[in-house]
Chain A
Amino acid sequence: MTVTKTLARSVRLRVFWRSLFIQAGYNPRGQQSLGLTYALLPALKALYPDPRAEGEAVQRHLATTFNTHPYVATAMVGGILHHEERIARGEAPPASAQHFKASLMGPLAALGDGFFWFSLRPACGALSAALYPWLGVWCALLFLVLFNAVHVTARARFFLLGYRHGDGIVAHLSRANISRWGERLRAVAAASAGALAAYLSVVFANRSGLSVPLLTGACLLIAVLSFAVAVGRGARWAALYGSALLAIVAGALQ
């Protein structure tokens, strides 16, 4: 009798939910391997009714280091389900899932870091902060809405693509041309930060009751100097505390 081993939708949903905990047990030895195994457990249980075979599958993922961006990890999890189904049906060797992980976790991590951490998040953060004069505390909510509209959709879509296409996910992701959006989002972040610097300097200069153009000019000069000199972590701290100290002394002596 031929057994058709395809995961039920409810099992796939459980795996997706559990993939949101992929970093819970992060450690320097296996990195995300514990979180990955946690996510895969419902699927492995369904695919391998024999506890011994299930144990081998669990060991396969637990014992090897896994580390990627937490959002694109769902693509990896979906892809691993694709491979594990094939392994359970006898259509692929157990090593195929390992090869999939090893070959894609690095490139996908780079994609996730570049888009989500260095483009989308700064753009949403700076834009929302820049809109605080109109939105007040609601700007925090705007940040969540803007970011998560993309993040949640992407996470779900990555999971589906990984599950449906396995190794073919690379072609689908390259068609999305994600890097093209990156530079645009980074430009939004830069412009928003500049606008906010100007707005805050004028507002607080007005509050001080002193010469507004003079104080605004001083604040903007400090912003430009911070941009120019604060490259390393030490320089960032020096810029923050050095400028604050100067302002405190100037204010105290006024």
Chain B
Amino acid sequence: MVVHLTLAGLWGGLLALERRAFLQAMFSRPLVAATGTGLLLEDAESGLFVGLVFELYWLGSASLGGVHQDHETLPSVCAAAFASTVSAAAHSPGTTAIWSLAILLFAPMGIAGRAIENALDTRAVRYLGEAMTSAEGENFRRVARQNLWGMWPHFVAFGLLSFAAAAAGYLFEPIERDMPRALLRGLGWAYPVIASVAAGLAVRGSSSKKAAVLASAAALAVLATLAVTGRFS
């Protein structure tokens, strides 16, 4: 358990840095972040299915000109960590019910992540002030360090939240065991519905001029293929 919680915290913190401060090579996108969380916590399937939904849900969102959108990395890591640690505590594979619950519980963390990011941005003004004072004193090494200091608060804040989400999975597992079967069945039904909503939003988020036509044609092609192969009956 300690290893899982530590890995979740480190991974969440590093991804917050990758998303914001360094490289932006898309390790922090939901598909990669959540799948990676699942792999680290030994439940890659839960990570993948949480990541698929969040990737689609936030497909077309982007922070522009300093105006932040929802923080898609934080809910992805938290939900995948929660679902994976519930499975680990139960010694059983992930279920659609837990994936749905994780997505519904942690999706609002996107708003929380954005608020934290805005607060840390405001805090970072002090590093600029320090850098300007250092530049006036011709202490250029200190100027350089101020830029790097700006990364620590992101690492700590998002790492702690990811750690907490993984811990919540372990704490929740006994509750899940006692949940009514009907509710679990309902949550299981919710997964494809949530995925459908996310896919509809992704088609809009694609910003293509012919989004509706292309998405419909592709959906029909898939349905026809599945019908021919006998999986749609």
Binding site for B on A (CB under 8 A): 20-21, 23-31, 33-35, 37-38, 41, 44-45, 51-52, 54-55, 58-59, 62-63, 67, 70-71, 109, 113, 117-119, 121-126, 128-129, 132, 136-137, 139-140, 143-144, 147-148, 151-152, 183, 186-187, 189-208, 212-213, 215-216, 218-220, 222-228, 230-231, 233, 236-237, 239-241, 243-244, 246-254
Contact = CB atoms under 8 A, between A and B. Distances in A.
Interface of B: 20-27, 29, 31-32, 35-36, 38-39, 44-45, 47-48, 51-52, 55-57, 59-60, 62, 64-66, 70, 96, 100, 104, 107, 121-122, 124-125, 127-128, 131-132, 135-136, 138, 140, 143-144, 146-151, 180, 182-183, 185-212, 214-223, 226, 231-233
B224 to A, nearest CB: 10
A20 B22 contact: yes
A171 to B, nearest CB: 25
B218 A195 contact: yes
B186 A252 contact: yes
Contact of A37 (B39, B143, B189): B143
A125 B199 CA distance: 12
A31 B66 contact: yes
Nearest to A233: B70
A33 B48 CA distance: 37
A156 B178 CA distance: 55
A143 B26 contact: yes
B221 to A, nearest CB: 7
A25 B226 CA distance: 50
Contacts of B47: 137
A34 B218 contact: no
Contact of A219 (B182, B192, B204): B192
A227 B62 contact: no
Contacts of B193: 218-219, 222, 243-244, 246-247
Contacts of A248: 100, 183, 186-187, 189-190
A254 B217 CA distance: 33
Contacts of A203: 192
A24 B143 CA distance: 13
Given A193-B59, A207-B96, A243-B197, A62 B211 contact: no
A212 B20 CA distance: 43
Given A202-B231, A240-B197, A193 B26 contact: no
A244 B104 contact: yes
Given A26-B121, A199-B226, A252-B186, A193 B197 contact: no
Q: Please list the 6 inter-chain residue pairs (A to B) with the smallest Cβ-Cβ separation, ordered nearest first.
A: A194-B215, A226-B200, A251-B189, A197-B199, A251-B186, A204-B192
Given A27-B127, A189-B59, A198-B219, A208 B197 contact: no
A44 B221 CA distance: 58
Interface centre among B22, B26, B226 (most CB of A within 10 A): B26
Nearest to A68: B65
Contact of B200 (A45, A197, A215): A197
Contact of B22 (A24, A128, A140, A193): A24
A221 to B, nearest CB: 8
B25 A148 contact: yes
A226 B66 contact: no
Nearest to B127: A25
Given A23-B20, A241-B104, A37 B29 contact: no
Given A248-B187, A251-B189, A30 B196 contact: no
A223 B132 contact: no
Contact of B206 (A71, A193, A206, A237): A193
Contact of B140 (A41, A67, A200): A41
Given A122-B205, A129-B55, A204-B96, A147 B25 contact: yes
Given A113-B64, A122-B60, A222 B196 contact: yes
Contacts of B38: 137
Given A190-B206, A215-B192, A25 B185 contact: no
A94 B91 CA distance: 66
A217 to B, nearest CB: 10
Contacts of A122: 59-60, 202, 205-207
